[in-house]
Amino acid sequence: MRPATLGSRTRRHVLRWTALAYLLAILVGPLAMVFWRTFENGYDAAWSALTTPETVQAFKLTLLITAIAVPLNTVFGVVCALAIVRRDFPGKGLLNAFVDLPLALSPVVVGLSLFLLYGREGWFGGWLEEHDIQVLFALPAMVLATVFVSLPFVCREVVPTLREIGDEQEQAARTLGASGWQTLRRITLPAIRWAIVYGVVLTTARCLGEYGAVAVVSGRIQGQTETATLRVEERYDSFDVQGAYAISLVLALLAVLVLIAMTVFQRKEETA
């Protein structure tokens, strides 16, 4: 065996173990701690911490917000990606840049900007109050905040796939007599389906875990406008460490499920 090969093998080992140790320290360690602390006082204690009415309501609210935000952002993301890749219009560069804005902006800023728009002193505040519509400290503001922060994912996944497949298949469909709608439904959407699914998974993960923007606009009314992530903090502040860990664990398990889904769909996208 030549020394060069030996050297490169050692280097590879060092690299691999460093990466693993880093992951262990940063990710797996804390998660294992959460797991351990949750079941520290037994399974029953964990279960009863999870099934208090307020906690159940918090999970329901998180799922409801996710169920509204994900479809909205999926439709928007696909339309947006089609516009960016397939169309030419003034302001296209601007749209392309603005889609990424939520990635760059701190969620707290997003929450505050919603305050400026919908608060009592905000642009729409007066009108909303006259018509007796509650946006802040209620579901609408929480959905708006979540939609904003999870906006880019579907679009960002679909854009490169659309670029890669090109528009020849779509042109072929048009010459074969397909209308614009038929081309979209039968050619374009099937070709980008795994990118959409992957984007949906990422969006879902972002919606489930959203904290900052929602924390600002929700008002954190227990049993009403408290999502699962907000509930974790509330339990922790109330010295119910057991409860905080139990909710965290469920959120972590959801994240693992999302991760598995991502791996599966990413592979499909590559082979599609």
Partner 1 sequence: MSIVIRNVSKRFGDFVALDDVSLEVEGGSLTALLGPSGSGKSTLLRIIAGLEWPDQGEVELSGEDATALTPQKRNVGFVFQHYAAFKHMNVRENIAFGLKVRKRPRAEIHERVDRLLQLVQLEAFGHRYPAQLSGGQRQRMALARALAPEPQVLLLDEPFGALDARVRAELREWLRRLHDEVHVTTIFVTHDQAEAMDVASQIAVMNHARIEQVGSPTELYDEPATEFVMSFVGEANRLGSAWVRPHELDVAHQPTEDAVEALIERITPYGFDARIELALGGGEAVTVQMTRERLELLELERGQIVWVRPDRERVFDERGRAPAAATA
Residues within the interface to partner 1 (CB under 8 A): 168-169, 171-179, 182, 186-187, 190-191, 272
Q: Which of 218, 257, 244 is nearest to 55 (CA)?
A: 244
E strand or H helix at 43: helix 43-50
C-beta of 191: minimal distance to partner 1 in Å?
Answer: 6
Q: Given the complex with partner 1, which of 192 and 202 has the nearer CB atom?
A: 192
Q: Which of 237, 255, 242 is nearest to 66 (CA)?
A: 255
CB 86 within 8 A of CB 255: no
Q: Given the complex with partner 1, which of 10 and 179 has the nearer CB atom?
A: 179
C-beta of 272: minimal distance to partner 1 in Å?
Answer: 7
C-beta of 194: minimal distance to partner 1 in Å?
Answer: 10
Q: Given the complex with partner 1, which of 169 and 222 has the nearer CB atom?
A: 169
Q: Is 15 exposed, middle or buried (0-12, 13-18, 19+ CB in 10 A)?
A: exposed
The residues near 152 (Cβ < 8 Å, ≥ 6 apart) are 77, 99, 100, 101, 102, 103
Q: Given the complex with partner 1, which of 41 and 179 has the nearer CB atom?
A: 179
C-beta of 177: minimal distance to partner 1 in Å?
Answer: 5
Q: Given the complex with partner 1, which of 85 and 147 has the nearer CB atom?
A: 85
CB 58 within 8 A of CB 247: yes
C-beta of 79: minimal distance to partner 1 in Å?
Answer: 21
Q: Given the complex with partner 1, which of 233 and 269 has the nearer CB atom?
A: 269
Q: Is 83 exposed, middle or buried (0-12, 13-18, 19+ CB in 10 A)?
A: middle
| CA dist 78 → 58, 104, 153, 189 (Å) | 30, 21, 10, 9
C-beta of 233: minimal distance to partner 1 in Å?
Answer: 45
Taking the C-alpha atoms of residue 173 and residue 187, their distance in angstroms, rounded to an integer, is 8
